[in-house]
Structure formats: structure tokens, C-alpha cells
Structure 1
């Protein structure tokens, strides 16, 4: 039985978070976007300075998924004014990634549970996220975990405006 650990990311983990987060984003989206847009987005959103700012925000929390101290996934959750869309009584899953070599092993579900449990502790009503309309694998994963589409918004990757489905799940019942 392989065990995985979820732990909060601290400022001291900045370099590890920066490297892993950037690598996951590139691995997931580079083949479907232009090098120019990827480069621009990575420069804006995945610089060490930007990630440090996020780590220091009291309304943002990061978690690593680990296997034998190796980072295999991560989660970023935002609440209050830190959300990309300010939704009342909601916790946003801003980023959730699992290394491709570890997908399909329940790590994504463990990270979702971490977000769900934090939302309950914070006394919020909803857990929500935005997912690119073309990321059918992720949409199916969220639907399997009882998230439902409730709206849409534009996600800007570099100079490309892309459509994200906004999906949510109630924190009022255990499901």
C-alpha cells in the first residue's frame, strides 16, 4: 500500500513550489498554446516574486501532495478577496495539479478533500473552480467528484482569452 502525505506549503518551500508549479503548468498546457502566450503567462504568473506574494497572502493557502518526501502534486486555494471571482461564502480551488506519472492514483481526490475540509473549517458554503473548456479530462474528474457547472469566465493566457467553465460543489453536505 502506497501512502501519500498532504502538507501545507510554507514560504521556506518557495523554490520547490515555484519549480513544481511551473513544470506542471507547462506539462499540462504547452502543447495546446503558442510558445509566445505560454512564455508571457509564465513570466506574469509563475515568477518566484509572484508566488512569494501569493504565499504571503493570508487568504491563500497552498498544499503539497508528497510521496516519500517527493512532491507529486499541489493545491492552491483562495478565499475572500483573494478569489479570482469574488463569490460570497466560497473557497476557490485556484490551482490543483498532480504530476502526470502519479495521476489516476487518488492524489487529486486527496487534494480535493483537503480543499473541501478547509472550506468546512472556514464555515463557507461553496467550493468552486474554473476549468478550461478544452480540458475534458479535468472536467470529467470534477464531475465525478460532484462539481457542477454554474457559470463561465474568461481566463487570459498571455494574450489569448480562453473560456473557463466555473464549477462548484456545496460544502453544506458531505458528498
Structure 2
């Protein structure tokens, strides 16, 4: 039987799985290259159910969740206006796109990007942008395959460590 992937707008009922995917994916992706203290600090500040609940209720942020056979597999946080982590005018920011490691390679990330593009079009926006850690080669390669290009960089603080994110954009 073929496994089904559904992408939909997240609701308050999705807060717990979103927080869990965020913690799990962030840990899987970055624990080998950051200190345990910095990881613990960042995760405890950014992936609590309380923090996700506050973000999901914001009027300038949209959360999408991907379900694989009814189970949460990925989520994406999109920002416009003042919710953007860096002011980019009339653009849509992909602040987070996290796919559980066990679900990578199923096309979920590409489908999430396509959903972001459609949301931008509906809102009359012609540009999507995001930040990705300069040393996250798999993510950089993925976004390049999806048509994004580097246009700048900015600082990203993980715990006490100041890192560099490459800012990437795609015109739609």
C-alpha cells in the first residue's frame, strides 16, 4: 500500500507534534557540531509547546504540517511583515522547514516549498527567502535544487555561539 502525504495548515491541535519534530530534528541535525550546553539552551528557548503555541497564534506567521499516513513527519513556519527574522519587505520567509530524519527522501521538503510558493502567490508576494547555516551542506544543496540562490548572510546565535546563516531567495 502506498504511503500518503498530506500537507495542511497547522492548528492548536498540532502544537505538541510540531514542538517534538522541532526538538528531534534540531538535535539530529546540529548536535554533532555544537556544544551540549548551546543545544540545550536553544532547544529549551525555541521548541517548547508554549513557544510554539504563541507563534502559531501570530497573525503574520503560518505553520504548515506534513503528515505521513496520519503521523506528523515535518513542519514549516512561514513569516511575513514584522514576524520575519530579518526585514525583507513584501516577501515570505521560511523560518523553519524541519523534516524528521526518518522521513527524508520522500519528497516532503519539495512539497512544503511548493506550498510556500503557492501561499506567496495568493498573498501577492513575488519572493521567498530563508536563512540556512553556512555549514549545513545538505540543506544548502537542497535549497539550491529548489531554485534558491544566496543573496546575503546574517548572524544566528545558537546558545552562546554566534554563527553565520546564508540568506537565500527565490523569485516566484
TM-score, normalization: structure 2?
0.96
Worse-matched range after superposition: 69-78 or 8-17 = 8-17
Match of 1:116 in 2: 117
Partner Cα separation in structure 2 for residue 33 and residue 85 of structure 1: 24
- Segments of structure 1 that go 5 or more residues without pairing to the other structure are none
- Residue 131 (structure 1) shift: 0.3
Alignment partner of 1:153 is 2:154: yes
- Residue 125 (structure 1) shift: 1.8
Per-residue displacement from partner, 1:90-142 (whole Å, max 9, x unpaired)?
A: 00000001111121121100000111110111111210000000000110111
Match of 2:165 in 1: 164
Counterparts in 2 of 1:11-30, with a 5 A limit?
A: 11-30=12-31
Partner Cα separation in structure 1 for residue 29 and residue 15 of structure 2: 21
Partner Cα separation in structure 1 for residue 12 and residue 4 of structure 2: 25
Match of 1:130 in 2: 131
Q: Which consecutive segments of 4 or more residues in structure 1 shift more than 3 A?
A: none
Partner Cα separation in structure 2 for residue 135 and residue 67 of structure 1: 25
Alignment partner of 1:3 is 2:1: no
- Segments of structure 2 that go 5 or more residues without pairing to the other structure are none
RMSD, matched Cα: 1.0
Partner Cα separation in structure 2 for residue 49 and residue 3 of structure 1: 30
Partner Cα separation in structure 2 for residue 80 and residue 38 of structure 1: 29
TM-score, normalization: structure 1?
0.94
Partner Cα separation in structure 2 for residue 70 and residue 43 of structure 1: 24
Match of 1:76 in 2: 77
C-alpha contact (below 8 Å) 2:78/2:93 kept by paired residues: yes
- Residue 155 (structure 1) shift: 0.5
